[in-house]
Amino acid sequence: MRFFAPLTMTLIGVLLAGCASSSSKPAGPEPEILIRQLSNIPEAARYITGRISVQYALSVRNSTPTAIQLQRIEVQSIGYGAYTLPLTTLPFDLVIDPGQSRTVSFWGAAVIDSTTIMGANGPVTLRTVADFKASGGPIRTTVVQQVHETGFSD
């Protein structure tokens, strides 16, 4: 029985150390991100299928107490929508001071697979992952938002 006590304590120590080191969430507030679709498809081409370029704007509000640096984003559509945006990864080098907001724009190569009632300008749900560098360590923020040609919607 004495053999199991040291072994049990060792396993508990390893598990606790693993849990402590696996957390990548900051102790305080995370940056707030909002993605909007800026471009739209002309009325005459709303019901086409094929590849399209879509322009987006990503706004970041730094709600942390220190400056952060946006290093990378990953954006992709999820579920069924007006078009499909494959996984798109983009590098950035954008410093955002505490309490400040900054916006970057970028293009994505989307595909219209089939037409919907609203056509290519209908809603699409995007999953956005933003990686930041901060003085307290890396921060990863993930949001899921619905976008369409008129911008952000709830």
pLDDT digits (tens, 9 = 90+) for 63-105: 999 999 999 999 999 998 888 999 999 999 999 999 999 999 9
Quick one: CA dihedral 95, 101, 104, 73, positive or negative?
positive
Position 117 scores a pLDDT of 66
Q: How far apart are CA 95 and CA 130, in angstroms?
A: 13
Predicted TM-score of the model (pTM): 0.76
DSSP 119: G
CATH fold label, 26-153:
Immunoglobulin-like (2.60.40)
List, for residues 18-76, the tens digit of each pLDDT value. Answer: 444 333 454 678 999 999 999 887 776 677 788 889 999 999 999 999 999 999 999 99
Is 130 buried (19+), middle (13-18) or exposed (0-12) by CB count in 10 A?
Answer: buried
